[in-house]
Amino acid sequence: MSTSTPKPPLIIPPTGNHTASVIFLHGLGDTGKGWCPITNSLSRDLPHVKWVLPHAPTGEVTAHNKKSMPRWFDIISYNFESAAEDRAEIMMAARMTDELIQREVDAGVPPERVVIGGFSQGAAVALLAGLTSRPEDGLAGGKEGWKLGGLVILSGWLPLQSSFQQASTKSNLAMQALSARAAQMPIFWGHGTDDNIVRHKVAEAFTKKLTTSCGIPMVESLTLGTEHNARCTSALPQASDVEGGPGSPGLRFRSYKAGGHSVCPRELRDLAGFLKRVVP
């Protein structure tokens, strides 16, 4: 399946001294430019952060009657738990992310000061690139697994689920497996309870897999309102009660009541708080 050559990433420079970088991958049908209003807003609280907003190549999407649009990989079906997946294209997107991370490292930013993330399909790529070791399919630090500052997942899903197993359960011949560093990475996962694309119960199942089958600690599971002062409920202690707070290793799964396949004001504030803790 042919795809176009993507344009160079859009760069939002820091407004202060550059000490950290966030690489954020957009969702299906979008471009990096679509996230400029959000990153520009977040930059006010994160003047030291450089934002890297890559653009996906354009290609056919099977789930949309083979319509051509920007996408990181083909989506065969929106049944994310059991549908066939285009592994070759997914791994190509992960390698592209490896390359973007390495560019920041080459420019003098330690990998511990780099955060990768994404929305929807971009989040799926970020999960694979950030949490797996890919000795045959990865580039640079992606071969043995990156030691990053953090990972941001917004309305995402877990691709190539067989990749997300503890390394000790995989043979040495495995093409990819959960990185030995994955359990030490702070992860923010935000998801709307009324998401009609990546259903909330699907996201819950994927986070359960990461925490029960893959050994990534669940340090927070909250249901929040979409606005800052809305009522919230908690299945685990509030972040302030968890040792190390929001910047500590492990998964923070935040559900936003009545939120759809989008980001809400409360989610963006929570994201800014997370980034302040992992790359202060």
Domain boundaries defined on the chain:
10-278
Structure confidence by residue, pLDDT tens digits, 161-186: 877 765 444 444 345 688 888 999 99
Residue 78's Cβ-count burial label (10 Å; 0-12, 13-18, 19+) is middle
Span 38-48, average pLDDT: 93
Q: Has residue 234 got a pLDDT over 70?
A: no
213 — pLDDT class (breaks 50, 70, 90): confident
Asked if residue 236 lies in contact with residue 218, where contact means CB atoms within 8 angstroms, the answer is yes
Domain 10-278 has CATH 3.40.50.1820: yes
Helix 87-106 with 121-131: angle, nearest 10 deg: 70
37 C-beta neighbours (distance < 10 Å), count = 9
Span 39-50, average pLDDT: 94
Could you give phi then psi for residue 177, rounded to 5 degrees?
-155, 170
The pLDDT value given to residue 214: 84
Catalytic positions:
120, 195, 261
What is d(CA 207, CA 104) in angstroms, rounded to the nearest whole number? 29
Give the type of residue at 193.
Answer: T
Q: Tell me the C-alpha to C-alpha distance, in Å, between residue 141 and each of 126, 210, 220.
A: 14, 21, 28
Q: Has residue 202 got a pLDDT over 70?
A: yes
Ranges of H-type helices in the chain: 36-43, 87-106, 121-131, 200-208, 265-278
The pLDDT value given to residue 245: 55
Asked if residue 150 lies in contact with residue 112, where contact means CB atoms within 8 angstroms, the answer is no
Asked if residue 57 lies in contact with residue 29, where contact means CB atoms within 8 angstroms, the answer is no
Span 224-247, average pLDDT: 49
Q: How far is CA 40 from the centre of its chain?
A: 19
